Structure 1
Amino acid sequence: MFKPVPVAIGLRYLRAKRRNGFISFISLASILGIALGVTALITTLAVMSGFQREIRDRMLQMAAHATVSGYGEPLQDWQRAVKVALEDKRVDGAAPYIEKISLILSANSQPAMLRGVVPAQEDKVSVLGQKLVQGKLADLQPGSFRIVLGRELAVWLGVSVGDDVLVALDDFRSSPVGGVQTMKRFKVSGIFEAGYNEFDKGLAVVNLQDLQRLLRMGDGVTGVRLKMHDMDQAFDVARDLATKLQAGDPRSGFRVSDWTQDNANLFRALKMEKTVMAILLSLIVAMGAFNLVSSQVMLVTDKQADIAILRTLGLTPRQVMQVFMVQGSLIGIIGTVSGVLGGILLTLNLDRILKGIEAVFGVQLLPEDVYYITGLPTDLQASDVGTIACVALVMAFLATLYPAWRAARTAPAEALRYE
């Protein structure tokens, strides 16, 4: 098969045994350095993406994909809002809610978000009913003034099912002696465990009508929670719903938020952490590229006579440059491909490797009571793998430019003088 002369010579140099074995060792070190860097990058970013997905999924099990609430005042016509939302095919479920900051008191005290829900509709927008480890969501009957607590919140308060807690709201009513804080005693009827600290220690759930009575809201609610078939469409769907409600009542204002806005700081921090880690681990690939520069410079020095002979046979400086660029780029390609394959295989088997290490050394690297997970989550994304491979190839290509340019400047007469 026909090959261009620079390509044929470059391939020949890659396969040929060299007189200086140290150059071959440096070339092998370059391949290993690039491969290890790519492997480490792919595996690390897959683990970080896995943790990010795990946090997002656990958070969205209990939180709404999007909410539509009244602007500055309770949403009164929430039945119509739910009806309009369910007419949208992108919406999987809709339910009203009330949220109010509260202080829950028992043996200890703990601030928590008090959420009023309709038990029969809550399963449409969250998995609260499935996360109950004690009691039933259906026990939250109107007028019963019962409450469901997160497990960590219940432990901190020192209560269990059947005990009473005192709920103090940041709501005051006037009385002959001045402002009186709204307080009510609730009976604990259930305990849930979501596996996410924000909910397990910071959320308490009561019946919607009970909270309406305490806050004297009438039939008003804070808003409507939405669950989507595709969570990435959350903001667009909520905005469309607010527009439809606004058209039906032009005097009303609505506020729209989605899960990315409600947790913007968390996801921004996770993204920043992933980016910084990628930059730091890219230095491993850069070290491999520097080794490639060293090996190519030494190769050019070792091949001075060969370069001179090629020049006398008619090879132009540009073609000489292409010879060493081909040879160096092939080293980069081999290292990158090896690293991509190694990274994919390591990521896919990382959980098994972790369990093997735990079994051999008798340790638990990820205790469930600390991390709320039973394994090492990974999320191997094609975009990350592609980006890492492209960065490694670009680094390898740039590393060949100076040695190849130096080879092109070799003077044939000077190189052959002492041969």
Structure 2
Amino acid sequence: MFKPISVAIGLRYLRAKRRNGFISFISMASIIGIALGVMVLITTLSVMSGFQKEIRDRLLEMTAHATVETAGQPMQHWQGAVKLAMEDPRVAGAAPYVDSESLLTGNGTQNMGAMVRGIVPVQEAHVSVLAKKMDAGSVDSLQPGKFNILLGSELAAWLNVRVGDKVTVITKNIQGSVVGALPQTKRFTVSGIFTVGYNDIDKGMAFVNMQDMQRLMRMGDGVTGVRLMLHDMDQAYAVARDLAGHLQELGPYPYRIRDWSEENANLYQSLKMEKTVMGVLLSLIILMGAFTLVNSQVMLVTDKQADIAILRTLGLTPRGVMQVFMVQGSLIGIIGTVVGVISGIVLTMNLERILELIEHTFNVVLLPSDVYYITGLPYVLNAHEIVVISLVALTMSFLATLYPAWRAARTDPAEALRYE
């Protein structure tokens, strides 16, 4: 098969046994360095993506994809809003809610601020998996007039309460009394405890019946808003905006819409920034492999001075000489990248087995369940990330060949052959 002379010579240099074994060692070190960098980068970013997805999924199990609220006042026509939402084929479920930032007091003197949410148990099943997260009690215990409450496991532990105990809810709603203005308070009975596996919810959320919350907040039949669960959460903002537009027909209120990314913007931005910084730092491993490639290529050029001179006298142009060493160096980068991609994928897919092997061998628990909410190593192999990592490694490898190849092209044949 026809090959350009520069490619043929570059391939031969890659396969040929070198007179200086140290050069071969440096070339192998370059391949290992690039492969190691690519492997570590793929594995690390895949695990970080896995943790991000795990946290997001756990959060969205209890957080609606989108919410529609009336700004500054209760939504009085929420039944119509739920009906309109369910007519949209993009909506999987809709439910009203009443939220209030409150102070909870349990046994003893321990207090804790939490978001107390009034829900309709039957409709709540359409927008969250609260019923599946119960450790004790059930969502059905939230009956109108019973004034029962469901607490997150961390919140219950902080308040030192269990099922059957009493909890006092102090809202920010102010009422008049003979001694002056006082916050609205009510004693609730703990009828259930749930665990989601996300600290902000397990320690900062409580659920009561919506009618009980309406009575406590003196809202009449009004609600804070309507929560939506969608078939495609990436359409959350567009669906909520469309619903708010249709609601103008029911009442000319100013509407506020929020989607899941806005409600947890700080969390998602911090996770994204952490992943980006980690990717940049780990790319330095590939850069170190590229610098090793520069060293091996410079030593190879020095070792092949006589060969370069002979090729020049046979008519090979300086550009052709440069291409020889660029081909040879680029092939080292390609081999290292391919090995790194394969190794990274294999390592990522077997992380759980490796973790279990380490725990079994050394009799340790690396991710104890009483400390970490996520005890495994979830991962997400993203094809786009793998392609980007491969391109970065190949680009660094190609750039690493430019200086040694340029130096080879400047070789003077007469000077190189003088002492041969």
Q: Same fold (TM over 0.5)?
A: yes
Q: In the TM superposition, what is the alpha-carbon distance from 1:71 to its structure 2 partner?
A: 1.4
Aligned-partner residue type, residue 76 of structure 1: Q
Asked if the contact 2:77/2:250 (under 8 Å) is kept, the reply is no
Q: In the TM superposition, what is the alpha-carbon distance from 1:374 to its structure 2 partner?
A: 3.2
Q: In the TM superposition, what is the alpha-carbon distance from 1:231 to its structure 2 partner?
A: 1.1
Supply the distance in 2 between the matched residues of 1:150 and 1:183 (Cα, whole angstroms).
20
Which of 206, 215, 218 is residue 217 of structure 2 equivalent to?
215
Supply the distance in 1 between the matched residues of 2:126 and 2:35 (Cα, whole angstroms).
48
1:157 correspondence with 2:159: yes
Supply the distance in 1 between the matched residues of 2:33 and 2:49 (Cα, whole angstroms).
24
Supply the distance in 1 between the matched residues of 2:369 and 2:388 (Cα, whole angstroms).
33
Q: Which residue does 1:343 correspond to in 2?
A: 344
1:109 correspondence with 2:136: no
Q: Which residue does 2:177 correspond to in 1?
A: 175
Question: Where do residues 194-343 of structure 1 align in structure 2 (5 Å cutoff)?
Answer: 194-249=196-251, 251-343=252-344
Q: Which residue does 2:28 correspond to in 1?
A: 28
Q: In the TM superposition, what is the alpha-carbon distance from 1:244 to its structure 2 partner?
A: 1.4
Aligned-partner residue type, residue 92 of structure 2: D
Note the residue ranges of structure 1 that are not aligned, 5 or more in a row.
none
Give the secondary-structure state (helix, strand or coil) at the position aligned to 2:248: helix
Q: In the TM superposition, what is the alpha-carbon distance from 1:381 to its structure 2 partner?
A: 0.7
Supply the distance in 2 between the matched residues of 1:139 and 1:174 (Cα, whole angstroms).
31
Aligned-partner residue type, residue 306 of structure 2: A
Asked if the contact 2:150/2:193 (under 8 Å) is kept, the reply is yes
Question: Where do residues 119-138 of structure 1 align in structure 2 (5 Å cutoff)?
Answer: 119-138=121-140
Q: Which residue does 1:382 correspond to in 2?
A: 383
Single out whichever of 191-200 and 337-346 deviates more from structure 2. Answer: 191-200
Q: In the TM superposition, what is the alpha-carbon distance from 1:263 to its structure 2 partner?
A: 0.5
Q: In the TM superposition, what is the alpha-carbon distance from 1:177 to its structure 2 partner?
A: 2.8
Supply the distance in 1 between the matched residues of 2:250 and 2:112 (Cα, whole angstroms).
41
Aligned-partner residue type, residue 297 of structure 1: V
Which string of whole-angstrom CA distances, capped at 9 and with x for unpartnered residues, describes residues 102-141 of structure 1? Answer: 1110122111100000001111000001101111111111
Single out whichever of 336-345 and 172-181 deviates more from structure 2. Answer: 172-181
Q: Which residue does 1:51 correspond to in 2?
A: 51
Give the secondary-structure state (helix, strand or coil) at the position aligned to 1:185: strand
Which string of whole-angstrom CA distances, capped at 9 and with x for unpartnered residues, describes residues 158-196 of structure 1? Answer: 111111111100110123432121000001111111111
1:359 correspondence with 2:360: yes
Aligned-partner residue type, residue 23 of structure 1: I
Q: In the TM superposition, what is the alpha-carbon distance from 1:8 to its structure 2 partner?
A: 0.3
Asked if the contact 2:333/2:393 (under 8 Å) is kept, the reply is yes
Give the secondary-structure state (helix, strand or coil) at the position aligned to 2:377: coil
Q: In the TM superposition, what is the alpha-carbon distance from 1:373 to its structure 2 partner?
A: 2.2
Which string of whole-angstrom CA distances, capped at 9 and with x for unpartnered residues, describes residues 277-302 of structure 1? Answer: 11111110000000000000000010
1:418 correspondence with 2:405: no
Supply the distance in 2 between the matched residues of 1:237 and 1:393 (Cα, whole angstroms).
42
Q: Which residue does 1:98 correspond to in 2?
A: 98
Which of 186, 192, 195 is residue 194 of structure 2 equivalent to?
192
Which string of whole-angstrom CA distances, capped at 9 and with x for unpartnered residues, describes residues 302-358 of structure 1? Answer: 001101111111111111100000000000000000000000000000010001000
Supply the distance in 2 between the matched residues of 1:140 and 1:134 (Cα, whole angstroms).
13
Supply the distance in 2 between the matched residues of 1:265 and 1:175 (Cα, whole angstroms).
40
Q: In the TM superposition, what is the alpha-carbon distance from 1:256 to its structure 2 partner?
A: 0.5
1:5 correspondence with 2:5: yes
Q: Which residue does 2:76 correspond to in 1?
A: 76
Supply the distance in 1 between the matched residues of 2:94 and 2:240 (Cα, whole angstroms).
11
Q: In the TM superposition, what is the alpha-carbon distance from 1:235 to its structure 2 partner?
A: 1.0
Which string of whole-angstrom CA distances, capped at 9 and with x for unpartnered residues, describes residues 71-95 of structure 1? Answer: 1111110111111111111110000
1:86 correspondence with 2:86: yes
- Structure 1 runs, 4 residues or longer, greater than 3 Å off: none
Which string of whole-angstrom CA distances, capped at 9 and with x for unpartnered residues, describes residues 17-69 of structure 1? Answer: 01011000000000000000000000000111111111101111111111000
Aligned-partner residue type, residue 53 of structure 1: K
Q: In the TM superposition, what is the alpha-carbon distance from 1:253 to its structure 2 partner?
A: 1.2
Q: Which residue does 1:40 correspond to in 2?
A: 40
TM-score normalised by length of structure 1: 0.99
TM-score normalised by length of structure 2: 0.98
Asked if the contact 2:80/2:250 (under 8 Å) is kept, the reply is no
Note the residue ranges of structure 2 that are not aligned, 5 or more in a row.
none
Aligned-partner residue type, residue 397 of structure 1: F
Supply the distance in 1 between the matched residues of 2:383 and 2:371 (Cα, whole angstroms).
30
Aligned-partner residue type, residue 145 of structure 2: G
Q: Which residue does 2:370 correspond to in 1?
A: 369
Which string of whole-angstrom CA distances, capped at 9 and with x for unpartnered residues, describes residues 221-265 of structure 1? Answer: 00000001111111111111111112443x211100011001101
Single out whichever of 170-179 and 58-67 deviates more from structure 2. Answer: 170-179
Q: How many residues align?
A: 418
Give the secondary-structure state (helix, strand or coil) at the position aligned to 1:167: strand
Supply the distance in 1 between the matched residues of 2:266 and 2:146 (Cα, whole angstroms).
38
1:141 correspondence with 2:130: no
Q: In the TM superposition, what is the alpha-carbon distance from 1:370 to its structure 2 partner?
A: 1.5
Supply the distance in 2 between the matched residues of 1:248 and 1:154 (Cα, whole angstroms).
40
Supply the distance in 2 between the matched residues of 1:247 and 1:40 (Cα, whole angstroms).
56
CA-based RMSD: 0.8
Supply the distance in 2 between the matched residues of 1:46 and 1:83 (Cα, whole angstroms).
41
